[in-house]
Amino acid sequence: MITVRFHKADGTLDREVGGRPGQRLLDVAWAAGQPLEGACEGVMACSTCHVIVDKRDFAKLPPASDEEEDLLDLAAHATRNSRLACQIVLSEELDSLSVRIPPSAKNWLYG
Ligand code: FES
């Protein structure tokens, strides 16, 4: 199991959950009830799966593609450590991955 920590926009820890290698972070977030819409379900046609990755973990991720960078340019509250959750695939190296949900994320599950 790979531990993933989801933090609220204010930085406080919301959920700590387990994921499997090969699982997309977006799917882990959905299973954990996180307010990430992921409107295009991972085909990189939106930026509603935007997350802000902990600096230490960000360095472990493969670089974003040009398409992902273009979408992140459109994302509200994007930072230098922003990534799209649908493009992050869990691996053992990412154990204890910490991400923050940006302030503009709408909680579409719970209003
Ligand atoms: Fe649309 Fe990730 S779900 S870009």
37-60, pLDDT tens digit by residue?
999 999 999 999 999 999 999 999
Tell me how long the chain is: 111
Confidence class for position 111, pLDDT limits 50, 70, 90: very low
List pocket residues of ligand 1, CB cut-off 6 Å. Answer: 26, 38-42, 44-49, 71, 84, 86
Rama region for 16: left / alpha / beta (φ>0; ψ in -120 to 50; rest): beta
Distance 49 CA to ligand 1 centre (A): 5
Short-list 38, 36, 47, 41, CA closest to 105:
36
Residue 107's pLDDT is 54
Does the model's pTM come out above 0.75? yes
